[in-house]
Structure 1
Amino acid sequence: MPSDLNHSSTTPRILIVEDDAEIGAMLRDALSKNGMHAEVATSGREMDDRLLAGAFDLVILDVMLPGEDGLSLCRRLRSETSVPIIMLTALGEEVDRILGIEIGADDYITKPFSTREVLARIRGLLRRAYFSKAGAERMRPLRFEGWRIDPLRRQLHDPENTRISMTTAEFDLLLAFCRNPGKILTREELLTLTHAGLAGPVERSVDVHVSRVRQKIEADPREPVLLKTVRLGGYMFTANVDAG
């Protein structure tokens, strides 16, 4: 599997995994006209071949695919990389959309959709994925309580050095806390720090992602020690954070 992001490229590289030839061509042409390099894969096997051939900055993944379906591919991708993933789905049930997010997708778009909507979602995710280019100092790995978060590789490792799978939003949120230890951060500040364009009300979107981060870093997420809620304030990261 390739690296999480193609940092060296000035042209965003987008992989579209879609078996509908008309939709795939429409998306590829729209992205190409807007300054992006887009390639289309029609199955999980083709997706794997494309990823082995080169790195991509974002993956658009259809849920309904021949063979291995999009949800399975998303779960597999997220276990190996934090590349941003947008799910395309014709399924109208909220439970299906929630499942996609739960297994690691960063965003979803329901068919039928407009190319303008797709472009807006892609640009928003790419802004969040690239925000860590702000400076070399901000790229340095940080450590807390034996954990290590690497902004450049966008990876999180636990005290046993096991890599922990995270979505783009979860990673950006934890990184924002690590860069502001001991400070009370409001939900609005967290949205600004993470460049997050999360769907839904501000409080709900932030609270949901904080809950997911707790599931991954807290010994007991129901009694959080590292990431505390401040009543009428927001959240505070209590761990000691060091560079390295």
Structure 2
Amino acid sequence: MSGERILVVDDEAEIGELLNLYLTKEGYEVTTALDGRRALDIVTNEKIDLIILDVLLPGLDGIEVCNAIRKITDVPIVFLSCRGDDIDKIMGLAAGGDDYITKPFSPREIVARVKAHLRRYRMTAAAREEPPSVLRYRWLEIDLEACVVRVMGKEVYLSHKEFEVLSLLAQNPDKVFSADSLFERLWQMQSLGDIRTVMVHISNIRKKIEKNPAAPEYILTVRGAGYKFNGSMAL
């Protein structure tokens, strides 16, 4: 995808220039850095989509830089190194690298690997951004598209409003909703302090999804504040 930004970090300027030449021909924007500290400054302050990182850098080495980058972003990192030993590769991958290429290398191979890593990263990012249509919390399954709830694999009937209450809470685990806010959001009218409607719906839901409605594990009451869905029940 043209316009994606690649950071090349290598203390040999010639390598940066070579990769810049090949990658810009493919439509990528290329930024170069000669040392690890400059690379970290760029990653911290600019949008980078992939990093090509030399292992042997002055000052901070590539492994240290990779460890620091992984605290900032999860973009693909491709290591370059004149060392081809298995232990060096293992260290690079363990630090958070996605690939390891030994020098001397073919620029065309670098381009091919860059394309592959960016393609996979885009697909993974898209999957993360797309909200799940089915929520699973241990023995509870909520199908948001089909408006179906299953407990221990068996479908249980919830009224339309009960399903709305449950799905709202489950999509916002550990967020506390007051009874007033639930009523106004789901019933589309001012509660005027009448929270009994919400209490009845919460009670009905608990009877249908909890093992012991008197000691609920999913929908918890937060004294003086409202209700929340127990996020620790996530699979």
**TM-score normalised by the chain length of structure 2:** 0.54
Amino acid at match of 2:130: M
Quote how far apart the aligned CAs of 1:12 are: 1.1
Q: Unpaired runs of 5+ in structure 1?
A: 1-8, 147-239
* Partner Cα distance (1:78, 1:53) in 2: 15
* 1:20 aligned onto 2:18: no
**1:116 and 2:108 are equivalent in the alignment:** yes
Kept after mapping to 1: 8 A contact 2:6/2:49: yes
Q: Secondary structure at the match of 2:118?
A: helix
Q: Deviations over 1:88-143 (max 9, x none)?
A: 010021110111111110001100001110001101100111114668x9622687
Report the residue type matching 1:26 in the other structure: L
Percent identity over paired residues: 41
Structure 1 residue 107 corresponds to structure 2 residue 102? no
Alignment partner for residue 48 of structure 1, among 11, 15, 40?
A: 40
Matching residue of 1:36:
28
Deviation at 1:46, TM superposition (A): 1.1
- What is the deviation of 1:53? 3.3
Mapped contact 1:15–1:59 kept (Cα < 8 A): yes
Residue-by-residue CA offset, 1:157-180 (whole Å, 9 max, x unaligned) = xxxxxxxxxxxxxxxxxxxxxxxx
Contact 1:132 1:139 in 2 (8 A): no
Q: Give a deviation string over 1:26-77, Cα, whole Å, max 9, x none.
A: 0111111111000100111211222233110001000000000001111111
Matches within 5 A, 1:132-151: 132=124, 139-140=130-131
Larger RCO (alpha carbons 8 Å, 6+ apart): 1
Match of 1:125 among 114, 117, 120: 117
CA contact (8 A) 1:18 1:42 kept: yes
CA distance, structure 2, for counterparts of residue 145 and residue 99 of structure 1: 36
AA of the residue aligned to 1:88: L
- Opposite residue 91 of structure 2, the aligned amino acid is L
1:97 is matched with: 89
Aligned-residue Cα RMSD (Å) equals 2.7
Query: How many Å separate the matches in 2 of 1:63 and 1:89?
Result: 5
- Change in Cα spacing, 1:65 to 1:138, as seen in structure 2 (3 Å) is closer
Structure 1 ranges of 4+ moved more than 3 A? 132-135, 141-146
The aligned runs of 1:81-230 (5 Å cut-off) are 81-132=73-124, 139-140=130-131
Note if contact 1:30-1:115 (Cα within 8 Å) is conserved in structure 2. Answer: yes
Structure number, greater radius of gyration: 2
Residue identity in the other structure for 1:53: N
Scaled by the length of structure 1, the TM-score of the pair is 0.52
Conserved? CA contact 1:91–1:110, under 8 Å: yes
Aligned-partner Cα distance in 2 for 1:32–1:121: 15
Look up the match of 1:58.
50
The alignment partner of 2:47 has SS state of: coil
For 2:77, the aligned partner's letter is I
Q: Equivalent residue for 1:69?
A: 61
Q: Give the number of equivalent residue pairs.
A: 140
C-alpha change, 1:10 and 1:34, in structure 2 (3 Å) is closer
Deviations 1:160-203 (A, max 9, x none): xxxxxxxxxxxxxxxxxxxxxxxxxxxxxxxxxxxxxxxxxxxx
